[in-house]
């Protein structure tokens, strides 16, 4: 069956080489998270570049308003795709911003020892990983949780990445914010989106607990991390 193949494979891989502060049996409501969102010049990690990273620290379901990371990133190439109208970051906004080789190490220091959470986080992750590789920076190992997939799982009780992608229309951040009645001070701003995502994760933590998913291990068994 496709479904079990999906999560068994992931499960095995994750069990293989994985080390996160708090450990495998760490309770979700005690774990330290970094909830992040990145803005890019486009959607292709090979050709496009990071423009902004925003992130909030959560301890369990508590969002720490003052413990956040935000940086604009100056891209190397002058490749400004059609994404500008979405995030509103213009070339002039990033001329004084640090380049990726400065911003990324700072961000990696911020996320050290935390579980990473994002909405459709796979794309943020591949950009971060690709950028790190490009500059020869070590890419920190860690556990990544996609709130989009969690949302889908909560509805359907199963959720591989492919299924989640196919269903993206239903579980977009916008849809979740509307469903949970979470107002967002400014959409498509990395920091504001990270904050909105953190609030989604906050609610999902409780909903997962109701489904008996209370530890990192439970989450992995469900194929959600």
Partner 1 sequence: MDDVVLGSVVEFLRRVPPFQFLDEERLERLTKRVEVHYFPRGAVLIRRGERPPEYLWVVVRGGVKKVLRTATGEEHLFEVASEGDLVGVLSSVDGLEGQLDDIAVEDTVCYAIPRTVVEELIASEPAVARFFLGALREWVRASLTALERQEEPTDGALVLSAPCRTVARYPLLTCPLGTTVRRAAQVMSAERVNSIVVVDANGRGVGIVTDWDLRERVIAAGRSPEVPVEEIMSAPLVTIDADRLLLEAVRVMIARGINHLVVTEEGKPYGMLTAFDLLVRQGTSALFLARALERETRVERLAEILEQAQRQLLPFLLSRGVRASEIAQIVSEINDRVIARVLALLEQELGPPPVPYCWLVFGSEGRREQTIRTDQDNGILYADPPAGAEQAVRGYFLRLGQWAVERLVALGFPPCPGRYSADNPEWVLTESEWRRKFRAWMSVPEPQAVLNSLIVFDFRGVHGELALATELRDFVRRELAHSPRFLFHVAAVSTAQPPPLGFLGRFVVERSGEHRNQLDLKLGGTGAIVNLVRLFALEHGIEETNTLARLLALRESRAIEPALAEDLARAFEFLLELRLRVQLEQLQRGERPSNHVDPRQLSSLDRTLLKEAFRVVARAQAVVRERFHLEQAGE
Footprint on this chain of partner 1 (rule: CB under 8 A): 56, 61-66, 68, 70, 180-181, 185-186, 189, 191-192, 195, 198-199, 202-203, 206
Which residue, 121 or 205, has its beta carbon nearer to partner 1? 205
Which residue, 53 or 164, has its beta carbon nearer to partner 1? 53
User: Residue 61 and residue 28: Cα distance in Å, rounded?
Assistant: 8
**CB 185, min distance to partner 1, A:** 4
Closest Cα partner for 57 from 35, 37, 83? 35
**CB 3, min distance to partner 1, A:** 29
**CB 134, min distance to partner 1, A:** 26
Which residue, 36 or 164, has its beta carbon nearer to partner 1? 36
* Rounded alpha-carbon distances, angstroms, from residue 214 to 86, 117, 147: 36, 16, 16
Which residue, 116 or 190, has its beta carbon nearer to partner 1? 190
Residue 79: how many CB atoms within 10 A of its CB? Answer: 12
* Rounded alpha-carbon distances, angstroms, from residue 137 to 103, 117, 130, 178, 215: 11, 21, 10, 38, 31
**CB 191, min distance to partner 1, A:** 6
**CB 206, min distance to partner 1, A:** 5
Closest Cα partner for 140 from 174, 102, 109, 168? 109
**CB 42, min distance to partner 1, A:** 23
Which residue, 64 or 221, has its beta carbon nearer to partner 1? 64
Which residue, 89 or 219, has its beta carbon nearer to partner 1? 89
Which residue, 68 or 149, has its beta carbon nearer to partner 1? 68
**Helix ranges, the chain (H):** 2-16, 84-87, 91-94, 100-111, 121-134, 147-156, 161-166, 173-179, 190-210, 216-221
**CB 220, min distance to partner 1, A:** 24
Residue 148: how many CB atoms within 10 A of its CB? Answer: 27
Structure tokens at 137: 């920076």
Residue pair 75/52 in contact (Cβ under 8 Å)? The answer is no
């Amino acid at each position: 069956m496709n479904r079990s193949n999906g999560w068994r494979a992931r499960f095995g891989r994750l069990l293989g080489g994985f080390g996160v502060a708090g450990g495998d049996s760490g309770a979700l409501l005690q774990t330290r998270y970094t909830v992040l969102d990145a803005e890019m010049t486009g959607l292709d990690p090979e050709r496009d570049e990071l423009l902004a990273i925003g992130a909030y620290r959560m301890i369990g379901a508590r969002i720490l308003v003052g413990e956040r990371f935000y940086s604009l990133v100056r891209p190397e190439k002058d490749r400004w795709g059609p994404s500008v109208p979405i995030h509103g970051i213009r070339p002039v906004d990033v001329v004084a911003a640090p380049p990726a080789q400065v911003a990324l190490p700072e961000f990696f220091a911020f996320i050290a020892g935390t579980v990473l959470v994002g909405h459709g986080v796979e794309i943020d992750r591949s950009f971060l990983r690709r950028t790190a590789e490009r500059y020869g920076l070590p890419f920190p190992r860690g556990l990544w949780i996609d709130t989009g997939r969690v949302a889908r799982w909560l509805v359907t009780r199963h959720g591989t990445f492919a299924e989640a992608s196919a269903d993206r229309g239903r579980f977009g951040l916008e849809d979740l914010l509307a469903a949970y009645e979470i107002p967002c001070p400014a959409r498509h701003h990395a920091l504001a989106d990270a904050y909105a995502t953190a609030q989604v994760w906050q609610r999902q933590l409780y909903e997962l607990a109701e489904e008996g998913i209370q530890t990192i291990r439970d989450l992995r068994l469900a194929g959600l991390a």
